[in-house]
Chains A and B, each alone.
Chain A
Amino acid sequence: DAGVIQSPRHEVTEMGQEVTLRCKPISGHDYLFWYRQTMMRGLELLIYFNNNVPIDDSGMPEDRFSAKMPNASFSTLKIQPSEPRDSAVYFCASSRDRGLGGYTFGSGTRLTVV
């Protein structure tokens, strides 16, 4: 089991550019979560999916953020246009059984918008 795989590990982009973060959940996990972590705000849930369907996107900061899960093994988080305040570490996590027993996190994508 390779765990939750995220790419890229690091991303540096200029303000106004489009950024796409990718995630491959653990096979068999039917829940997928996108989190953002900053020193000031800690871990924030952005959106989560169940069986590829978005369930709660109330944490998505604004319309510049969008997430998709076209199939059970792949999800993207897109920021367009990016802004310096989007700089953070973005984590993807997956689970089964509604997350009872905890989530498995990926190693994260460190995003820097200059």
Chain B
Amino acid sequence: QKEVEQDPGPLSVPEGAIVSLNCTYSNSAFQYFMWYRQYSRKGPELLMYTYSSGNKEDGRFTAQVDKSSKYISLFIRDSQPSDSATYLCAMQAAGNKLTFGGGTRVLVKP
């Protein structure tokens, strides 16, 4: 079993819909949680960063962390075709390297 599990998708939604992405993990030492967005033929770029449990909002993006359930989520409101990309979750225990999920491919249709 992988340390971080993420549904590969693809997840197809109409423009304007809410996109809901999630990851589960097994390592209780993870304290830092991130979401990266990767466009085709580009490197991953950091989208959201949260520490420990709770919610964080940035514009149309909301990240949630539930450490008790070992579950993190990313919500994209009012989705746009430009949001079409692969979204990777990543996690880190203090002082250690990032562990990435496999990524979920998202397609927002006009």
Contact = CB atoms under 8 A, between A and B. Distances in A.
A110 B43 CA distance: 11
Interface string A50-94: 000000100000000000000000000000000000000001010
A105 B44 contact: yes
A106 interface: yes
Contacts of A91: 43-44
Contact of A33 (B32, B97, B101): B97
Contacts of A104: 46
A103 B44 CA distance: 9
Contact of B43 (A42, A100, A102, A108): A108
B88 A43 contact: yes
Interface string A1-23: 00010000000000000000000
A42 B34 contact: no
B95 interface: yes
Contacts of B45: 105
Nearest to A31: B97
Given A98-B95, A102-B49, A42 B100 contact: yes
Interface in A23-39: 33
Contacts of A56: 97
B103 A42 contact: yes
A102 B46 contact: yes
Given A33-B97, A45-B97, A98-B95, A103 B102 contact: no
A44 to B, nearest CB: 9
A56 to B, nearest CB: 7
Contact of A43 (B32, B34, B46, B100): B100
28 contacts: A33-B97, A42-B100, A42-B102, A43-B88, A43-B100, A43-B103, A45-B98, A91-B43, A98-B95, A99-B92, A100-B32, A100-B92, A101-B49, A102-B34, A102-B36, A102-B46, A102-B49, A102-B98, A103-B98, A104-B46, A105-B43, A105-B44, A107-B42, A107-B43, A108-B41, A108-B42, A108-B43, A110-B41
Nearest to B45: A105
